[in-house]
Structure 1
Amino acid sequence: MELSPDDVEQLRATVGDARVIAIGESAHFVREYHVLREQMVRFLSEQLGFTTVALESGFSEGLAVRDWIHAGAGDPPADGLTYRFGECAEMRDLLVSLKDQQLDFWGLDLPGGLANAGPALDHLDLHAPELRQTLSPVRRLVGRFASAYTIPAFTAYREMALIDRDALTLALAEANARFDATPRPRDETNTIARHELRMVTLLDQMLRAQVAAVEGSTAHAGLNIRDAAMARTVEWILDRTPGRVIVLAANSHIQRRHPMFEVLGSHLSALLGEQYRAIGVTAEAGQVATRRLAPDAPAMAETVLVDLEPPAEGSVERLGPGLHDTRTSTADKIRNLDLYTEGPVAEFFDAVACVPISTPTEQALWTGGR
């Protein structure tokens, strides 16, 4: 979908004077979503003065992308994005566009695709060497469950003895205290290292909460630490830049309200109020890749291509292609992969962009769990 003049004016009106604009997607690895996002990002930067892009991808891994954008040569770093996003040609095109525009870039998410704290621990070894001894047991314990895939990592973490899980949490608490107790200049290196330590700690807490929820704790069932971590990263970015920020993440993360738990968008709405705008992205027709459990696959899950059914009665997709102001919409559902998230779309998004058709990219099918 090309942005029409009407779409451009709607985008301008939706953004207003907001400091943070989030652009979503109903599924990852959709060619048309990448093209639309690149158009939107270019308009927001060139016409409305946005200076920073923050992506649903690992914070620690994204530091290499940021360095490449500012001073690198050749192709984007292959390991600079998590969830296999870096393998996607359309995503690499977006990164090249960001470099051409000299926009700042940050990853938002927990390290290692939610399955491995290693990337953050490697950086901390370099930039906070006084923590090496304290973080040594963290490395050893993380190595017991670290994986390239989320479900096997969670399974291995859950199988660890409680005393070992507790030892990991205790060692991270000590590392946080030691970092804060060490005099250091407030420069970029130390500021980044502090946030990486925070993200490793939140990864540990996410796994603890997930185990508690699986084992029946209602107090943990709705605790969404991952999205809280992404929200804290956006807050961290806002504290260090006077500019305006574009967030790129799934619809289910950026929506202002979620019917089940707090998400990135609900945190940002609470933090910023009307200075936050959320634009959902969906498709009228086409295909998406959706996840299915597959115990024999390396990640214990795999993706399959699914044809989208015609837009359901009451869905925002019934509005057809284009960028629509949804703040007074009566739509009560929006696509999420091949299904729907139900609820008042007017409370979820300030606008929704609907493309005529969605086409999965080459990387959409795989035996991974994300």
Structure 2
Amino acid sequence: HVLEVGTGSGYAAAVMSRIVERVYTIERHAGLAETARQRFEELGYDNIEVRTGDGTKGWPDAAPFDAILVAAGGPGAPLALQEQLDVGGRLVIPVGDDPHDQRLLKVTRTGAATYSEEDFGGVRFVPLIGEQGWPESGNRIANDRPSGRARTRSLPEMIAAAAEPLPDFDDRAFGELFDRFGDRRVVLLGEASHGTSEFYRARAAITRRLIEKHGFTIVAVEADWPDAAAIDRYARHRPPRANADPPFQRFPSWMWRNTDVAAFVDWMRHHNERIRLSSRLAGFYGLDIYNMSGSIAAVLQYLDRVDPQAAKIARERYGCLTPWQHEPSTYGRVALTSGYRKCEQAVLEQCRELLARQLDYAQQDGVDFLDAAQNARLIASAERYYRIMYYGGAQSWNLRDTHMFETLEHLLEARGPSAKAVVWAHNSHIGDARYTEMGIVRDEVNIGQFCRQRFGDEAALIGLSTHSGT
């Protein structure tokens, strides 16, 4: 698919239509566009579409394009056109600071957000008029808006112009800088290493501020649900679960068993001492999927207490997973050859049955029911995750992030319509996959994408990065 900016008589579009599948061409002069359209119809060029409009904005509905040709010179390659290139696609455009003196530039999209450029020498074209080009009569960019890869400022210079300095994490002003996100329903905080102290301290400082000053009550982290539940019991002054294994024993144990997380959880516990309404207590929750054995144990212990007969049935259903619950990746290998569809059906039936009896069980203890229900969901998702992980591709990643987002939705629903959540996860989970190589190249989704689609402007996605750390 090829986009042409500047239809003119239609000659170039007609030539291209003979060698490509489809041509989309934009002309800002309505009379020229209509004449070209009639000419294409008369000559039988049925794989060309013509539109009247601002060519610097491209044709988003038809993107991505394998090639974009611009038959007019602009101050730079419009950002809209670059973003509408497919990975590997090429944009050819005359550019220059003078509307009447240009260089022919080829821009190739090499990744989700990376491009390469090649200069083919001096040329002279009519000015590219439009929002991301030249105005009708001046020598400045239309509407004073940046035109994308303009030659006047480098990327580091643009970043420096937008950057705001951050004080030390212990400085009260650090948290105050994030008050701008206090009205959001969900604030997602990323990190880039799964083990750098500065990331944990920064997220803790931001989260403390959002909890204390803006009423956030959910801290949902990239950790397994049953492990985080043990921490939540401590933070909300609830008794520990009897005979439970110590939390966060699975690799990488340092991700949550570290002094920065311990300090933050102690702060949560101290904060909750001052809260009288249970609905306003700040809770610590896990979104992830891996600790299947801990979830099985939690479901069985809950049912032993509230419904012993149901517990007996649950043990039978989970029995097919028992040999592999401590090393579930082994289950995935066996499931490839042994036809273990019975496990899938059993764990789904157990999850459905537990949720179907929500009204009966929740009357006894709504908090404990939420814990048991989410563990049942985790087991069902984990069974499928380990069964499909050996097929490769995006399916297992997408199942995991879908499960994590659905867990976040269940938490928000359980905590009430005014509940607000902070999410701690790796940058690859909290960015919007639609605008990175994850979604563009690998067909992957993530929590950040789902939050944007579900909550719109009520979701804030904040990535964290550093050049060094502890």
TM-score with structure 1 setting the length: 0.65
CA gap of 1:78–1:201, structure 2 versus 1, over 3 A, is: closer
Q: State the distance in 2 between where 1:173 and 1:90 align.
A: 37
Query: 1:145 touches 1:157 (CA, 8 Å); kept in 2?
Result: no
Q: Percent identity?
A: 18
Once the 2 structures are TM-superposed, how far is the Cα of residue 236 of structure 1 from its aligned partner? 0.9
CA gap of 1:47–1:106, structure 2 versus 1, over 3 A, is: closer
CA gap of 1:5–1:160, structure 2 versus 1, over 3 A, is: closer
Q: Corresponding residue for 1:31?
A: 197
Q: State the distance in 1 between where 2:245 and 2:300 align.
A: 22
Q: Corresponding residue for 1:236?
A: 410
Q: Does 1:275 align with 2:442?
A: no
Residue 118 (structure 1) aligned to one of 287, 293, 299: 293
Amino acid at match of 1:243: A
Q: Corresponding residue for 2:129?
A: none
CA gap of 1:274–1:180, structure 2 versus 1, over 3 A, is: same
Query: 1:110 touches 1:200 (CA, 8 Å); kept in 2?
Result: no
SS for the counterpart of 1:202 is: helix
Q: Corresponding residue for 2:264?
A: 94
Once the 2 structures are TM-superposed, how far is the Cα of residue 71 of structure 1 from its aligned partner? 1.5
Q: State the distance in 2 between where 1:5 and 1:176 align.
A: 45
Q: State the distance in 2 between where 1:123 and 1:34 align.
A: 28
Gaps of 5+ in 2: 1-166, 273-280, 439-443
Q: Corresponding residue for 2:426?
A: 250
Q: Corresponding residue for 1:323?
A: none
Once the 2 structures are TM-superposed, how far is the Cα of residue 224 of structure 1 from its aligned partner? 1.1
Once the 2 structures are TM-superposed, how far is the Cα of residue 140 of structure 1 from its aligned partner? 3.3
Query: 2:318 touches 2:346 (CA, 8 Å); kept in 1?
Result: no
Q: State the distance in 1 between where 2:282 and 2:448 align.
A: 21
Q: State the distance in 2 between where 1:281 and 1:138 align.
A: 42
Residue 175 (structure 1) aligned to one of 326, 342, 350: 350
Q: Corresponding residue for 2:95?
A: none
Alignment of 1:61-72 (within 5 A): 61-71=227-237
Once the 2 structures are TM-superposed, how far is the Cα of residue 86 of structure 1 from its aligned partner? 4.2
Question: What's the CA shift string for 1:74-103, capped at 9, x where partnerless?
Answer: 9xx983346413431222112112212225
Q: Does 1:11 align with 2:186?
A: no
CA gap of 1:44–1:181, structure 2 versus 1, over 3 A, is: closer
CA gap of 1:125–1:5, structure 2 versus 1, over 3 A, is: closer
Query: 2:193 touches 2:426 (CA, 8 Å); kept in 1?
Result: yes
Query: 1:29 touches 1:88 (CA, 8 Å); kept in 2?
Result: no
Q: State the distance in 1 between where 2:345 and 2:387 align.
A: 13
CA gap of 1:157–1:269, structure 2 versus 1, over 3 A, is: same
Query: 1:206 touches 1:224 (CA, 8 Å); kept in 2?
Result: no
Mean CA deviation greater in 61-70 or 160-169: 160-169
CA gap of 1:146–1:164, structure 2 versus 1, over 3 A, is: farther
SS for the counterpart of 1:106 is: strand
Amino acid at match of 2:321: V
Aligned residues: 272
Amino acid at match of 1:98: M
Structure showing greater Rg = 2
Once the 2 structures are TM-superposed, how far is the Cα of residue 47 of structure 1 from its aligned partner? 2.5
Question: What's the CA shift string for 1:175-194, capped at 9, x where partnerless?
Answer: 13432444614333323322
Amino acid at match of 2:406: R
Mean CA deviation greater in 120-129 or 20-29: 120-129
Once the 2 structures are TM-superposed, how far is the Cα of residue 223 of structure 1 from its aligned partner? 5.4
Once the 2 structures are TM-superposed, how far is the Cα of residue 270 of structure 1 from its aligned partner? 1.3
CA gap of 1:89–1:224, structure 2 versus 1, over 3 A, is: same
CA gap of 1:73–1:142, structure 2 versus 1, over 3 A, is: closer
Residue 227 (structure 1) aligned to one of 401, 405, 422: 401
Once the 2 structures are TM-superposed, how far is the Cα of residue 280 of structure 1 from its aligned partner? 0.8
Q: State the distance in 2 between where 1:65 and 1:125 align.
A: 20
Amino acid at match of 1:154: S
Q: State the distance in 2 between where 1:190 and 1:140 align.
A: 22
Q: State the distance in 2 between where 1:277 and 1:93 align.
A: 25
Mean CA deviation greater in 40-49 or 232-241: 40-49
Q: State the distance in 1 between where 2:239 and 2:300 align.
A: 26
Q: Corresponding residue for 1:329?
A: none
Q: Does 1:80 align with 2:247?
A: yes
Amino acid at match of 1:42: R
Question: What's the CA shift string for 1:240-266, capped at 9, x where partnerless?
Answer: 223321111111111122532111111
Q: Corresponding residue for 1:107?
A: 285
Query: 1:22 touches 1:246 (CA, 8 Å); kept in 2?
Result: yes
Residue 205 (structure 1) aligned to one of 384, 396, 399: 384
Mean CA deviation greater in 139-148 or 43-52: 139-148
Query: 1:49 touches 1:244 (CA, 8 Å); kept in 2?
Result: yes
Report the aligned-residue RMSD. Answer: 2.8
Query: 2:287 touches 2:408 (CA, 8 Å); kept in 1?
Result: no
Query: 1:34 touches 1:94 (CA, 8 Å); kept in 2?
Result: no
Once the 2 structures are TM-superposed, how far is the Cα of residue 207 of structure 1 from its aligned partner? 1.7
SS for the counterpart of 1:108 is: strand
TM-score with structure 2 setting the length: 0.52
Q: State the distance in 2 between where 1:250 and 1:230 align.
A: 13
